[in-house]
Structures are given as C-alpha cells and as structure tokens.
C-alpha cells in the first residue's frame, strides 16, 4: 500500500485526487495539506471532496503529513511548490509535481531534490496527453520542414498561466525534433500587420473561457493537407488518475528525475 499525501488538497484538483485515491487499489490517502491560513484548515477532506467523511482533516502541517506518508502529490500553486520540494527533500519522501507555471528557480530546486529523492515532474499527468507527446515526435519527423506548425490551447477562465505548460511542452517536443530552439522560434499570438509567416516559427494561441478543462491541438499545415493532433480533457479525473499512477510507480524507485513518459513506459519504445 502506498500512502499518499496531497498538497493543495482543498483545490479543484485536490478534491478530485481525494476521489481517485479512494478508488485506486494500492493507494491510501494519508495526508491533506493546505498552506497556512487556509480557510479549509480543520475540515474533513472527504466532505470537501463530496465523498463523505473520511476522518482526515485538512492541515497546514506539511512535515507531519509527510511523516505519515510515502509520497506527496503537489497540485498547489506555483508559489507553494518550493515548500513542497524542500519538505520532501528534508523528509526523504518521493514527490509528484503536477503544478504548472513554475519559474526557473523552482525547476532548479526540483532537479536538485531529484538527486536525493525520486521525483515525477510532468507538465501534464494525463495518459492521453503523454501519448500525444509521442505522436508529435513522429509527426514532426515525417512532415519536417514542409509544414507550418501552430499550437492552440484552451482552458477554464481561472487558469493563471499562459500558454499552458502542456502547450509549451508540445511546442518544445516539436522544436527539438526539428532541431530548433523554441525560445528563438516561438510566436505568442499575432496582431496587426505581421507580414508573411516564417515557416521556422512555431505559433501559440491561447483561449481562456468558461469551464473548459483542457484542450490542446498541434496543427501541421502544409499545401493541400493538414494534420492535427488533438487532446480534449472533459474531466479533471484524467489528470488525477495519472498523478496517482505516478505516485504508485514511484514506490521503491531510486532517486532521480522522472516524467510521465517513464511512468507509462513510453520512453522505452524510442
């Protein structure tokens, strides 16, 4: 049995993770943590998630939750993730990072922690999205320099970072496959008289509206045909399920930095 603590347990993803942990064989929900000052502190996490009382209270004591757990799943906020990384490193506990919008300093902290603890860090925990990552490599290799490439993503109105981490990951996979530097070739939106499109660029378009869970399309547009690779999420459960799967996979792993390609065994098919 893998004992799982949740950081950001009272948020939208946290509540979904509570449900998925309860339903997943081999997973035991052992901790529910929010940042100090949270209005949800002391509430039963099962009642918050709508699953009924679990007898597990939301706490702001991360070290105590880790002491009773094997792995922490972080779906908190970009500003809170450094606390999760530091606490797991100090406690010697495995970590799954699903929070997006992280800055470079936090990324470096995750890489450093992975020298001492096993960490799964992925821009998207969905099994389907990670399959799309593989398909994007194949499409980029096959279509190469003969197409224009655009990444279109849509999320709910509450998402605070743009483009999404998944959209950036998709663009980076395509760019690296084609030998390009995404930092140099990315174009984020267009307005005014832009001139003719440069085929070496990779465009990003962002939509924020309503309650869209998450949609990503990478378009490879040539002359006479267009290939689109699309993933649409209709429930947060797809991300929660992937995160719990990653937490179970980490049990007994050596320290290192892993991603969902490792969890799903997709890297082995390269």
DSSP-derived secondary structure letter, 168: H
b/e per residue 124-163 (b: at least 16 CB within 10 A)? bbbbebbbbbbebeebbeebeeebbbbbbbbbeeebeebb
Check: CB of residue 257 under 8 Å from CB of residue 114: yes
| Active-site residue, from 159, 193, 216, 231 | 159
Structure tokens at 204: 């990003």
Q: Is 57 designated active site?
A: no
| Active-site residue, from 77, 155, 156, 231 | 155
d(CA 58, CA 67) in angstroms, rounded, equals: 15
DSSP-derived secondary structure letter, 267: G
Check: CB of residue 99 under 8 Å from CB of residue 8: yes
Query: Phi-psi bin for 55: left (phi > 0), alpha (psi -120 to 50), beta?
Result: left
Q: Hey, which bits of the chain come out as E strands?
A: 2-7, 27-33, 71-74, 94-97, 118-121, 148-155, 186-188, 202-208, 214-221, 226-233, 256-258
Active centre residues (catalytic) = 155, 159
């Amino acid at each position: 049995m893998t004992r799982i603590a949740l950081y950001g347990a009272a948020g939208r993803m946290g509540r979904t993770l509570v449900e998925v942990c309860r339903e997943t064989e081999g997973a035991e929900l052992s901790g529910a943590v929010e940042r100090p000052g949270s209005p949800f502190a002391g509430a039963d996490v099962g009642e918050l998630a709508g699953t009924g009382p679990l007898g597990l209270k939301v706490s702001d004591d991360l070290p105590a939750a880790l002491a009773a757990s094997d792995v922490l799943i972080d779906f908190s906020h970009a500003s809170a993730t450094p606390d999760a990384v530091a606490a797991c490193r100090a406690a010697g506990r495995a970590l799954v990072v699903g929070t997006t919008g992280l800055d470079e300093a936090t990324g470096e902290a995750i890489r450093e922690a992975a020298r001492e603890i096993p960490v799964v860090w992925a821009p998207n925990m969905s099994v389907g999205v990670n399959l799309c990552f593989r398909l994007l490599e194949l499409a980029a290799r096959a279509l190469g320099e003969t197409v224009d490439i655009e990444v279109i993503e849509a999320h709910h109105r509450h998402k605070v970072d743009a483009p999404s981490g998944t959209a950036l990951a998709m663009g980076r996979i395509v760019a690296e496959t084609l030998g390009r530097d995404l930092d140099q070739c990315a174009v984020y939106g267009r307005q005014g008289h832009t001139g003719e499109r440069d085929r070496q660029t990779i465009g990003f378009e962002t939509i924020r509206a309503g309650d869209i869970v998450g949609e990503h399309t990478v378009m490879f547009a040539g002359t006479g045909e267009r290939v689109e690779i699309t993933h649409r999420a209709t429930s947060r459960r797809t991300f929660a399920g992937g995160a719990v799967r990653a937490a179970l996979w980490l049990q007994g792993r050596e320290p290192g930095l892993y991603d969902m390609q490792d969890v799903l065994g997709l890297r082995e098919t390269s």
